Amino acid sequence: MVGIIPKPPVKTLWWQDILLYFSIALLAAVVLGYFILGNFQNKSSASLQNLEETLATEKTPQERSAEKEVFQYRKKISDFSNLLNDHKKTSKFFEVLEVNSHPKIWFLKFILNPDDLQVLLSGQAESFQVLGEQLILFREVKELSKVDLSETAIGKNGKIEFTFLLSLDSKIFK
């Protein structure tokens, strides 16, 4: 269909043309930059990997001996750490005994067996009452799982001789 009234040609403004060409040029630059930077990254990664491989294979004798020495020390430290973790600190029992001993009790014989978690304590007390108080003190201690008064006798000097068999809780040596 032919128009009866001719329409005037549409005029574009000059700044719209400039904006269109600038946008197309910017898009082309971004796409081109993406591919160029990707190429540089691949080359750099390959170069870095080659350098690391070269450095890993080329060690001087001094570096090898130093590395061997470091590994020996690491093994020694690891062995010592294992020994230290397995070590039982039997001295902690003395702290418990010191705090929970009656002042009128004398311990004359002491046998500690950390493997069986038992202690044999022999000694003297002034009277049966003092010995009973000591027995009560031991039974209230959390670190002692069992307290047995195995032997009692009256000694030549009139003192009460006794023997305690104490079973220890395994947490006392940790």
pTM for this one? 0.50
Kindly tell me if the per-residue pLDDT of 90 is higher than 80. Answer: no
| Confidence band for 151, pLDDT divided at 50, 70 and 90 | confident
Q: How does residue 173 score in pLDDT terms, banded at 50, 70 and 90?
A: low
Assign 3 a pLDDT band (cuts: 50, 70, 90). Answer: low
Tokens of 103: 């002042």
How do residues 12-63 score in pLDDT, each as one tens digit? 788 888 999 999 999 999 999 999 999 999 999 999 999 888 877 777 788 8
Model pLDDT, residue 41: 95
Within 10 A of 117 (CB to CB), how many other CB atoms are there? 18
Q: What band does 92 get if pLDDT is binned at 50, 70 and 90?
A: confident
Q: Which domains does the chain have, with CATH numbers?
A: 91-173 (3.30.1360.100)
Backbone angles phi, psi at 89, to 5 degrees: -90, 85
At residue 1, the pLDDT reads 56
Task: Among 8-17, 21-30, 82-91, 122-131, name the one with the lowest average pLDDT.
Answer: 82-91
Position 172 pLDDT exceeds 80: no
Q: Give the C-alpha distances (Å, rounded to integers) separating 46 from 49, 52, 55, 97, 166.
A: 5, 10, 14, 69, 71
Is 119:148 a contact under the CB 8 Å cutoff? no
β-bridge mates for residue 143, sequence order: none
